[in-house]
Amino acid sequence: MLLLSTFAFAQTAAPDARFALALFCNPTCDDDVLAMLDEELGSIRGRSGFPEVVTQPGRIMGIADDSFPIPNLDFLEVYGVEVDRSEALVRSQQVVLAWFASPADQAVQTLTTAQRAFAKAAKQNGGWVEDLDTQQVFGVEAFARRDPAGKLEDWFVVDAAPQDEAQPDGAVRLVTRGLRRFGLPELVVEDVDPGMAADVGVVLNAAAANLRKKKSGTMSIQTEEVNGTATFVDGKRREDDPDDPLWKMSFDGQITVAGEDVEPSEEVEGAPASPLVEPAPTAVADREPPAPAPAPAPAPTVDRSPPPPIGTPRNLDEAKSMVQARFQSVVRAAWEQGLAPGEVVAVSAPFRSRSGGKEYMWVELRSWEGGQLSGVLVNQPDDVPGLKKGDTVKLSPEEVFDYIWKKADGSREGNLTAAFTR
C-alpha cells in the first residue's frame, strides 16, 4: 500500500546556493594555474564579499600558505577519494581557496563551472581538490568525474555526533552538510538511537533526494528502501552546525534494510548514510548462490550471557582496533556457538574500484570458516566491475572495517567507526 505524505514547505528555506572549494597545489600554485583559474571562472564574477542574498553568481578567492590545514595521511585514509600521491599532498605549500554563491535556480550551472575549473587546475598543477563543505579530498580524475546534475547523494554527507556531549554513549544527532550548494536547507535528525543511526540515514538520503525534485506542495517518500512520511520544522542550530538554514526532520513509516523490514515503534527522527553504514576491503566476486545461514546450535550448549561492553573509541584508529579485536573474539565466538534465531551480522569492507580506489560496501555474513568470510553484498556498487547487489562475495576477517551485529532482542552492536567517517 502506498503511503501518501504531505507537508508544507513553509519553513525557512535557503535563499540561495553556496559552497566552497580548495585546490592543494603541488607544491605551490604557479602563475599559469592562477591565471587559468581566473579565466575558467570568468562567468562567475569576483566579489569582495557576499550580500545576505545574491542575485547573480559570485565568487571570493584567495591563496593561503601551509598555515591552512593540510590533510595528513590519517585524514586522507578516511576522507580521501581516489587520492594519488598522498605523500606529496601532505607536503603542499599553497592552497587556492574559493567561496561561491548563486541564486538557487543557477546552482547546478555555477557548481558545474567551478567544478570544471578546479578539476582543470588540479590536473595542470598535479594537485588535489577538497570540497570544503563535506571535507572530502579528491584526486584529479575522481573530482573530474563528479556530476553536479547527477545523484544528490554524491554531494552531501551526514555528520553524527552525541546528542548530549556529557553522554557520549547515548543518543546521536545527525546533520547533513552540502545540501546548501543546491539552494536546499540542511537537515537534522535528533535523539537517534545509535543502533538505528544507519537505518535512519537511509531515510535521510531519500528525503534529501526528494527535496531536490520538489520544493513545494506535497511529497511521498516511496523507494525500494523507504516507504513513509517525512515532516519538517525549523531546527535549532548548534554552534558546530553548518551556518545555513536547518530543517529538523521526523519520519513515520517503514525502512527496508538488507532484506528486512524495520518498522519503528515510534516516530524516528534522523538518518545517516548507507543501508547499514559504511564499509570494506578488496573482496572477490563469487557467482554461486548464497550459502544458507548456519543453523543455531541447540540451546543447552550455547552461552547467551551478554558479552562485555565495548567502550567508546576516541579516534578512528582506536575505533578500527576495537572493531578488529571485538569482531575476531566476541563476535566470532558467538558465530561459532550459533547465532540465536533472528540475529544477523553484517560487515563493512573495501572493494577495489575501477579506477584503483576503494569503495566501501556492506556484506551480510552467511558463513565463517577458518580464515574466510562469505556473505551477500548489501549495496549496489557504484564503480566496482563484476559485482552487483545480492552477489556472494568472500573476504578475510582482517579486511573488516566495521560490523553491525543485530541481536535477537532488537539491540545492535558495532558501527564504531561511524562517528569518525562520513
Average of per-residue pLDDT values in the chain: 79
User: Could you report the per-residue pLDDT of 224-253, keeping only the tens digit for each?
Assistant: 788 888 888 888 888 878 877 888 888 888
Residue with cell 572493531: 323
Least confident of 68-77, 95-104, 349-358: 349-358
User: Could you report the per-residue pLDDT of 189-232, keeping only the tens digit for each?
Assistant: 999 888 777 778 888 888 887 776 655 445 678 887 888 888 88
pLDDT of residue 416: 85
Residue with cell 548464497: 290
pLDDT of residue 150: 87
Here the contacts of 230-233 (C-beta below 8 Å, separation 24 or greater) are 230/5, 230/7, 230/203, 231/5, 231/7, 232/7, 232/9, 232/11, 232/187, 233/11
User: Could you report the per-residue pLDDT of 20-75, keeping only the tens digit for each?
Assistant: 999 999 999 989 999 999 999 999 999 888 988 899 999 999 999 888 889 999 88
Least confident of 71-75, 126-130, 200-204, 390-394: 200-204
Contacts with 9 (C-beta within 8 Å, 6 or more apart), sequence order: 215, 216, 217, 232
User: CA 273, CA 250: separation in Å to the nearest integer?
Assistant: 16
pLDDT of residue 382: 85
User: CA 387, CA 383: separation in Å to the nearest integer?
Assistant: 9
Architecture of domain 16-150: 2-Layer Sandwich (3.30)
Find the mean pLDDT for residues 83-108.
94
Find the mean pLDDT for residues 149-153.
85
Find the mean pLDDT for residues 391-412.
86
- The amino acid present at 156, given as its one-letter code, is F
pLDDT-derived band of residue 266, with 50, 70 and 90 as boundaries?
A: very low
pLDDT-derived band of residue 414, with 50, 70 and 90 as boundaries?
A: confident
pTM, 2 dp: 0.61
pLDDT-derived band of residue 120, with 50, 70 and 90 as boundaries?
A: very high
pLDDT of residue 280: 31
> What residue spans in the chain does CATH classification 3.30.70 cover?
16-150
Helix (H) or strand (E) holding 73: helix 73-79
- The amino acid present at 395, given as its one-letter code, is L
More confident residue, 330 or 280: 330
Strands (E), 8-167: 16-24, 45-46, 58-65, 80-81, 94-103, 128-131, 136-138, 157-162
Helix (H) or strand (E) holding 358: strand 358-369
Residue (of 393, 419, 413) closest to 329 by Cα position:
413
pLDDT of residue 293: 34
Taking the CA atoms of 169, 256, 282 and 178 in sequence, report the sign of the dihedral they define.
negative
Find the mean pLDDT for residues 388-411.
86
- The amino acid present at 386, given as its one-letter code, is G
Least confident of 3-12, 71-80, 327-336, 355-364: 3-12
Residue with cell 577495489: 352
pLDDT-derived band of residue 311, with 50, 70 and 90 as boundaries?
A: low
User: CA 11, CA 15: separation in Å to the nearest integer?
Assistant: 12
Residue with cell 594519488: 84
> DSSP readout, 161-223?
EESSTT-TTS-EEEEEESGGGGT--EEEEEEE-GGGHHHHHHHHHHHHHHHHH-SSSB--EE-
